[in-house]
C-alpha cells in the first residue's frame, strides 16, 4: 500500500530519529535524487528538534502533493508551545536561544523552495516547508 502522507507525534529525541528515517524512506520513494532526500531528512530533523527543545510536544506531517504543474513534498511542523517571540530575529542567521549554531530555521528556509512560519504565544508555532520535486 502506498501512502502519500506521514504523521509523527514528536515528544523525544527518539521520536525525532524515527521521523527522520521514515521521512527519508518516504522521500526516496518519490524522488531518488540523494540530495532531495537528504534535504527532506535534514528539514524534518531541524523542525522536529525545535519542537522537542522549545515546545516539548508537537506533530510533524510529511506529504506528497500533486499541484497543477508540479509534484511537491510538504513538511508541516506544529506545536502549541510558547511560540517564537521575534520571528524576524529567529529567522536571522546565528540567532539561537538554545546554545546551538542558530542556523536551524534560516537553514531550512534555504534548503527548501517554499517556507512559511506562523507563531504566537496563544497558538504556538506552525512551520510549513515545501520542496519542489518535478514537473507533472
Binding site for other proteins (CB under 8 A): 13-14, 16-17, 20-21, 24, 33-35, 37-39, 41-42, 45-46, 49, 70, 93, 100-101, 103-104, 106-107, 110-111, 132-135
C-alpha closest to that of 77 among 36, 26, 12, 129: 129
Which is nearer to other proteins, 62 or 133 (by Cβ)? 133
Cell of 54: 522549545
Residue 24 Cβ, how far from other proteins at the closest point, in Å? 6
CB 131 within 8 A of CB 39: yes
d(CA 115, CA 128): 6
Residue 32 Cβ, how far from other proteins at the closest point, in Å? 11
CB 74 within 8 A of CB 62: yes
Which is nearer to other proteins, 89 or 121 (by Cβ)? 89
Which is nearer to other proteins, 39 or 64 (by Cβ)? 39
Amino acid at each position: 500500500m502506498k501512502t502519500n502522507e506521514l504523521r509523527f507525534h514528536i515528544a523525544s529525541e527518539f521520536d525525532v530519529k524515527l521521523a527522520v528515517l521514515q521521512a527519508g524512506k518516504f522521500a526516496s520513494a518519490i524522488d531518488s535524487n540523494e540530495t532531495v532526500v537528504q534535504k527532506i531528512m535534514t528539514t524534518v530533523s531541524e523542525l522536529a528538534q525545535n519542537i522537542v527543545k522549545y515546545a516539548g510536544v508537537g506533530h510533524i506531517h510529511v506529504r506528497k502533493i500533486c499541484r497543477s504543474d508540479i509534484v511537491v513534498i510538504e513538511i508541516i511542523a506544529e506545536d502549541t508551545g510558547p511560540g517564537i517571540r521575534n520571528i524576524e530575529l529567529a529567522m536571522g542567521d546565528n540567532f539561537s536561544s538554545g546554545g546551538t549554531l542558530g542556523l536551524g530555521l534560516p537553514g531550512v528556509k534555504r534548503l527548501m523552495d517554499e517556507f512559511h512560519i506562523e507563531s504566537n504565544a496563544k497558538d504556538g508555532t506552525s512551520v510549513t516547508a515545501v520542496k519542489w520535486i518535478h514537473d507533472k
